[in-house]
Amino acid sequence: MQLCMYIIDAFTREQFGGNSAAVVVLDSPLPDALMQQIASENNLSETAFIIAHPSGGYAIRWFSPLMEIDFCGHATLASAFVLFEYFQCHQSIRFTTQQVGDLTVWRHHDGCIEMRFPNLAPKAVETPAALLAGLSRPPKQVLANAQAYFAIYDDEHDVISLQSNSEQLKTLAPRDVVVSAKGSDCDFVSRYFWPANGGDEDPVTGSIHAGLTPYWAEQLGKTKFHAKQKSIRGGELFCSLDAEHVLVSGYAVLYAQSTLHIATAAS
């Protein structure tokens, strides 16, 4: 079995920035176990598998090195980039997902790719002890949605200098942890920790901006944002809020293209 795979750097305009995702384009479905083996072997934040959907558009599934993920923004951006660049898709793509419904994606004339996500605004919750133990500085506020706990800080420096304890944060599963503050050279900044579901720190996390955007819309009194994820690789996102959806946009670049040779026994 031969599979075509692309490695894309998402939410960046340059190679070696943003967050890398593998995109595997399928002609026929693969067993779940094999998709997980491929994702584990890739050892990237996410490997996306896409296949033409009978009703139009593409079905998409996302796998971290550890497990299948309900919702991944940067691998959706990477998948759209591949389809726009190499599979003659034009203007818009509809991705069908198992957990978050249909996701519509557009590409603008300057190459920026815009994704329409559900509004996943977090709500205030009591602060878990493991969250306080897992972060080197206590947050001023804690909220949560189904994906993550949101630890809010007063200052960008608090987010950048923060240290995490993965063993403590791992006990918060199935939720991950995002830390965020108002930015100095952008509207807001964040970092994302997900030791229970993928790795210690994710370089850039598109999906969490479906929750960060409505939160900061309420705090800042605006609906359009320039956001940065302050990981070592770093990433840049453009977000906006309408009545029902969050729009998350960014750029992507090709890092590598390869052919996977899968032994028949593995499938």
Nearby residues of 95 by Cβ (< 8 Å), 6 or more positions away: 50, 57, 58, 59, 60, 76, 79, 80, 102, 103, 104, 105
> How many residues would you count in the chain?
267
User: What does the alpha-carbon distance between residue 130 and residue 30 come to, in Å, rounded to a whole number?
Assistant: 38
* Residue 233, CA distances (Å) to 10, 120, 202 in order: 11, 26, 10
User: What does the alpha-carbon distance between residue 182 and residue 160 come to, in Å, rounded to a whole number?
Assistant: 12
Nearby residues of 106 by Cβ (< 8 Å), 6 or more positions away: 91, 92, 113, 114
Active site residue 46: yes
CB 48 within 8 A of CB 70: no
Marked catalytic residue, from 46, 156, 201, 236: 46
Give DSSP secondary structure letters for 86-100: HS---SEEEEE-SSS
* CA angle in degrees (0–180, nearest 5) for 118-21-10: 70
Strand locations in the chain (E): 2-10, 19-26, 46-52, 58-63, 68-69, 92-96, 102-107, 113-118, 123-124, 141-144, 148-152, 176-182, 188-194, 199-202, 224-229, 235-241, 245-250, 252-261
Give catalytic residue positions: 46
